[in-house]
Amino acid sequence: MEYRLWLAQRCRSVSLGDRSKYKARLAALLCVGAVVGAAVFLSRPATLPNLAKADAATLSSFKAHWAKGDMIVLVRHAERCDHSTAPCLGPADGITERGKSVVQNVGLQFQKLGMQNADIFSSPLTRAAQTSSFMFNYASIDQGWLFNCRKTMLTDTLSHKVKGRNLVLVTHSECFSALENLMDLPESKTRDYGYSLFLTASDDGLQPKITGFVDAGDWQNIVGK
């Protein structure tokens, strides 16, 4: 706020003190751009909220939105077999046995939240399809947008969100990055396997609002034992 006020005062002094009208107008335009840019930058959250560390009121609001079917959640697939020395569950492009156990536990936590009003979609790649199958006992097909997602992740996500139903998307790290960039959010510094990012859909059907994230091992703080 102080920085924006300083910029605004500086703009006024530059535009009034310059003898050349052209230079004054150019300086004013540059200053306005700086003020707007500073406002956008300062309004962004510094980090994504960690729901495992949220207070009781935040968690109560989160669960209320989930119960109403207002939520969108991206879940990263389980541990990749081809990026690990852990035993493979099956195909080399799938997940590890250890990864299977992790996402099965995450699936139990989602069940505690309630999945009766949720639509589930997964990337068609083996690691995502396996994750969805072991986490939710469901694997969707023909959802290439959850892999080829760089430019259209936000619009595709919103087009699949049904009012009154939560939308669960099992996808890849690069799709998290795509969505965060399109929404002008700070990118997650760490995004481990089984990581979940929650958004709350807006009433007008436009850009959703960031709610927070949950690491695979931190669900106890949200849904209990």
Instruction: Give the integer Cα–Cα distance in Å for 139 and 78.
Output: 14
Instruction: Reduce the secondary structure of 62-126 to three states and give it as a string.
Output: HHHHHHHCCEEEEEECCCEHHHCCCCECCCCCCEEHHHHHHHHHHHHHHHHHCCCCEEEEECCCH
Structure tokens at 188: 């997650």
CA 49 to chain centre: 11
* Confidence (pLDDT) at 13: 56
Instruction: Give the integer Cα–Cα distance in Å for 96 and 83.
Output: 9
Instruction: Give the integer Cα–Cα distance in Å for 198 and 61.
Output: 13
Whether pTM exceeds 0.75: yes
CA 15 to chain centre: 42
Instruction: Give the integer Cα–Cα distance in Å for 135 and 131.
Output: 6
Is the sign of the CA dihedral 57, 224, 101, 133 positive or negative?
Answer: negative
Domains of the chain listed by start with CATH number: 2-43 (no CATH), 51-223 (3.40.50.1240)
Place of tokens 């947008």: 145
Question: From first to last of its 225 residues, what are the pLDDT tens digits of the chain?
Answer: 555 555 555 555 554 455 566 565 655 555 545 444 444 444 445 688 999 999 999 999 999 999 999 999 999 999 999 999 999 999 999 999 999 999 999 999 999 999 999 999 999 999 999 999 999 998 888 899 999 999 999 999 999 999 999 999 999 999 999 999 999 987 776 789 999 999 999 887 779 999 999 999 999 889 875
Instruction: Give the integer Cα–Cα distance in Å for 211 and 61.
Output: 10
User: CA-based angle 170:186:98, to the nearest 5?
Assistant: 35
* Confidence (pLDDT) at 106: 97
Q: What Rg do the C-alpha atoms of the chain give, in angstroms?
A: 22
Beta carbons within 8 Å of 206's beta carbon, 6+ residues apart: 158
